[in-house]
Amino acid sequence: MPRDDTNADGAPDDSTLALRALVWTLAEPQRAMRLLDTTGLAPADLRSSASAPATLVALLTFLEAHEPDLIACAEGIGTTPAALVATRERLEAA
């Protein structure tokens, strides 16, 4: 039986994948500050809205805007850049 945070094929669901990308992004202080500066989120806002689709879309859009981060994040969390982009697209459409 698949876990609640995975799709039928065993891959992480969109929110789980985006949250993993968020954790990766916040692990490096300069990148975390760049995320906050770019999105306009305050640390308290990010904490309270971390799992909100709009916040996850903003995060993934931030990663897409700087391809080296997108690629490094994908490698760091064991996925592909295309999967992160597709996740953003699905979250945005929901």
Tell me how far apart the alpha carbons of residues 93 and 23 are, in angstroms, rounded to a whole number. 23
- Indicate if the pLDDT at residue 93 is higher than 70: yes
In the chain, the amino acid numbered 47 is R
Segment 32-82, tens digit of pLDDT: 999 999 999 999 999 999 999 999 999 999 999 999 999 999 999 999 999
Asked whether 55 and 3 are in contact (CB, 8 A), the reply is no
Whole-number Cα distances in Å, 21 to 10, 16, 24: 18, 9, 5
Q: Please give the residue that has the higher pLDDT: either 15 or 94.
A: 15
CA angle in degrees (0–180, nearest 5) for 24-82-89: 90
> What is the predicted pLDDT for the residue at 9?
55
